[in-house]
Chains A and B, each alone.
Chain A
Amino acid sequence: MGSSAKRKKEKQKDFQKPKLKVGKAKAKPENFTDTSFRSKAIVLNQQSLHVSAPNADSQFSHHLSLLSSKSDSQRRDSLAHLTTTIASRPVNSPLPQPVSVMLPSLLPLILDANNNVRTALLKLLRTLPNNDVQDHVAQLLPYVRAGMTHLAADIRVSAVEILSWMVEAAGEAVVSCAGGWIKTFNCFLSILGWHTEESARWSSNRASFGKSGSQGRPMVKVLGALAGFLDAGIGAPGASDGGEDPLVVQSSSTWPFPLCQTSQHMISDSATPYAYLNLFGQPRDEEGEMYETREDRFRVFSTRFLPAVERGLKSAREEGGELGRASSGVTKVLKEALSYGSGP
């Protein structure tokens, strides 16, 4: 209880104030812990000291590594830097880094959550040379498809934009690579909501899954991309002057008379000429198969997708307005393709 004198004295001892004296350091408390330490050297491992400024190449690879940074603005700025470096390089000089090196860090950005990053990515992709893109379409497509079915509408739209760029840059490769035709088409139908009869009705709340995006007129963009995709896949060869015709003309002209169709027997100039054999990949199913010729693609299209597309187009036309106008572009391509039929 503290009644005795001894106890009182003991108690007081706890509450005594330390006496301060002038000119002397303050007494340290009892529970003081010394945290200072000594070291022979202090190393800053973040610092890099160079006599000269980093050259363009090392800067380029540095920014490439920054693409996986956590901060959005950092990624966007790095993309912008890469874009200007590629765009401003002298004509016909090679890229600072080959596309195959750049792609692994670029691809995940297709699904990036930030709008600005994706826009910057599209800009960068547009600067890449077309024939390089052609060889890497197979790598790009799964990411684009993942983007097209993403829950966020903005990502869907930018994925469609990237797809339309790819069709422009390497249309033939896009539609003929493994899984490029059926799977991508499925994604289109799903993004448009044209799969089943019910979902294609104009009154139904289509393309409603996920968050609605901030960018306007997504359907118009999608329809535009679909038109391009259809044209690349089953468009009448005469109408769009790419692909085989000029090649045939050229080859027949370059080789003298007794040799005909010699180009077929020459070593192919594409990067992966034997991709259709699928020597190293997973076994493919029907959807993942390569459809290399227009006939194949047309056959698949007419059996699988034609009714759905026609139904969807009809309802889009009925809706009118901007959407109706955009659908007419697709209708035109479709009509040409149908009139050309399965082949000459």
Chain B
Amino acid sequence: MVKRKLGALEKVEADLSYIEDFRAQHYQYESHREIFMAAPSAATDTGIISLRELIDFISHVADCYPEILKDFPRQLIDMLMQHHLVLEQELREKLVGSIVLLKKKDLIDSATLLHTLFPILISTPSKTLRALLFQKILSELRQANSKTTNHKLNRTMQTVLFNLVTSDRTSSKALWAIKLTRELWKRQIWTDAKAVEVMKEAALSENEKVIVGGVRFFLGGDKEREDMEDESSDEETLDIGRLRHTLQINKKSKKKARVAEKAMATHKKKERKKTQPHPLNFSALHLLHDPQGFAETLFSKHLQSSKSKLNLEQKLLVLQLVSRLVGLHKLHIMSLYSYFQKFLTPRQPSVTSFLASLAQATHDLVPPDVLEPLVQKIANEFVSEASAGEVATAGLNAIREICVRQPLAMNETLLQDLVMYKKSKDKGVMMASKGLLSLYRDVGAQMLKKRDRGKEASMGLRSGEKEQRRFGEQETGGIEGLELLEKWKEEERRKKREEKGLASDDEDDDDDENDWAAWNVEDDNDSDDSGGWINVESDAEIELSDSEDEGKDRPSKKTKQDDPETKKDENIAAEEKKLSTLATTRILTPADLAKLAELRAQASVNTALNGTKSRRGGLPAARHTDDPLTAQEIEGLAALSAAKATREERIAHAREGKPDRDEHKSKEARRRERKQEQGKSTTNKEKARRKNFLMTLGKAKSKNKRSLVETRAVLKAHHDRQKRGGKRGNVGN
């Protein structure tokens, strides 16, 4: 009721016939303000109430009388800034609300608003006011950035936050800067380096809470952002066809029409959004200036120094950040590895996190002689016959994760020793050991014993194709999936030619032109016919052979497989040549790039189905470089290793992969349920089955009493009806 009244007030136009009345109210406000300002802390209840109502009224009509209300915003701001400590709570909230309203009416600019609200946010002791202010500031920033990015405002705000964080490193006020930045980062309003800089300074602060806030941002801010985006994109997936259908069937009313219209509008908006180019957002870790310096300072300030007051959990967070930075940017902090040394014992609390951090901090440019003692220590401390299954699993997994990143950290004897655990009775240990084995089949097969190498690796070794990479050696790379694109193009060209009836090898210039015409990605492009669907080859043999089996080859296959192997070598040179031509001789159009992405996705699905191929890529390919390595991954299949897991745990583990599965039901029952959910009707058969037993009784009884003649008539009628095709008949009669 009140809201509607206020809404009506906002529509009042600047009508001069009200000016006298308004002026009177304004004088009233002025005198009340004067009374209030004389003694803000000792104001009476009635005085406060009337002042609050006057402020409310005046701010709602403020845009109608700008001449009279020149000073009004200034007055409100002064009142709030000087007296926010002693103001009565409701009046204070009203002041905040009115100032925001004045901003909405463009009587003050957003910089003024933020300069008013932010200092109060960080200085007020009142929790409710802080919550209100935070929400207002956030919505103001969102609003200012809603149409276009308001760079100027963002820059000033970021500078304010930066100064807040850097000015007093011991105070916890910087938490507000963190909270604000994180929220805006999550909503993709701030995506630039300056925001990251604020968080970087926060991570280097002296206050524990601030440090943890900053570090957590780097560890989880981007994940949060992605989640938010996913959430917003699939929050309403309404089925337009169904909507139309229900609209036809159900009773028509104005309200329903309005609802439908609204739904259509949102749907259209979403469609439009889909076609817009995706904003390119870098993760916070990539936007850091000088990651080396940052990581070094973090390490020396919070981890190495004896003065740091962080507890183990906080230290672990910092360590995770440092190690991610090191792994991601391939930094060199040599003292980091010796720091790990003392934590690598099974008795250390949350040792799996330490192991994960160590593996994360490893990259292919770390000198192997730094890592070797660490790997040795892990092996000595964790992996032994005497140690518990979980411990050995964690150790083996950690060693594997380290060696994935730097294969040279392993020596031959140790590796052969560790590989022996593949015969372990414990499932977790066995799996972890096999993981290590398959890794080294790929990256350093000559270190394995001959019988462990497997067919593929030993053949690779023999042909000289598989050599262990030397320290610092980099893989020569191109554009991923480019050869697929080229192949596809070739095919398309051939198809076109066949359509035209030309010889398939004939060269023609015109399709170059076609390509240029199809510069943009078009929705109804025939190349896009699979739109969203990925073809899965049905006839591709799904090979899920265990690595053990690969050693003993079936003779029949051997001859087949040898053939392509020999040919392959010859093809390699030719293929590489081709590779370079497409990217260097042509400009890839956006349509090409879209197709490339599609082909890449398809290829990845195919490789996922063909188990052996996926293993060749090894772990690092499957994992994105930005993704962190977690302690859970180090623990690995430890859950399997012991029989100690209770029944509930085992059930939960089995259910993990299949999230939404309720109790077992027949197919029919599921179908019926689905139909009912969609509001569809039942079949006649079903109706008959469900019919109350007592109602069917009479008919059944009478059926028994029928005479022969009657029975004949009924049967005949039934026969006729069948012939006609039901009661109504399916012919035109």
Contacts and interface: CB of A to CB of B under 8 A. Distances in A.
| Chain A residues touching B, range | 20 to 34
B51 to A, nearest CB: 10
A41 B14 CA distance: 68
Interface string A126-160: 00000000000001001101101111000000000
Contacts of B311: none
Contacts of A209: 20-21, 24
A193 interface: yes
B71 A198 contact: no
Interface string B12-31: 00001101110111011011
A117 to B, nearest CB: 13
Interface string A95-107: 0000000001001
B34 A149 contact: no
A285 interface: yes
Interface stretch (A16-24, A165-173, A182-190): A182-190
A142 B20 contact: no
A190 B35 contact: no
Given A142-B35, A145-B27, A108 B47 contact: yes
A146 B24 contact: no
Contacts of B132: none
A68 B31 CA distance: 21
Contacts of A104: 42
B46 interface: yes
A172 B462 CA distance: 115
B35 A143 contact: yes
Contacts of A285: 71
Contacts of B34: 142, 145, 179, 288
Dominant secondary structure of chain A at its interface with chain B: helix
A142 B31 contact: yes
A150 B28 contact: yes
Contact of A149 (B25, B37, B38, B47): B25
For A107, A111, A285, which residue has the most chain B Cβ atoms within 10 angstroms? A111
B35 A199 contact: no
Contacts of A107: 35
B566 interface: no
Given A111-B46, A186-B27, A285-B71, A146 B20 contact: no
A106 to B, nearest CB: 12
A146 B35 contact: yes
Nearest to A144: B31
Interface string B324-359: 000000000000000000000000000000000000
Given A142-B34, A190-B20, A196-B19, A108 B25 contact: no
Nearest to B42: A104
Given A143-B31, A149-B27, 17 more contacts: A104-B42, A108-B47, A139-B38, A145-B27, A145-B34, A146-B31, A149-B24, A150-B28, A179-B34, A190-B20, A193-B20, A195-B19, A195-B20, A196-B19, A198-B17, A209-B20, A282-B37
Interface of B: 16-17, 19-21, 23-25, 27-28, 30-32, 34-35, 37-38, 42, 44, 46-47, 50, 71
Shortest beta-carbon contacts, A-B, top 10: A146-B31, A145-B31, A149-B27, A149-B28, A142-B34, A209-B21, A142-B35, A149-B24, A190-B24, A199-B20
Interface of A: 68, 104, 107-108, 111, 139, 142-143, 145-146, 148-151, 179, 183, 186-187, 190-191, 193, 195-196, 198-199, 209-210, 282, 285, 288
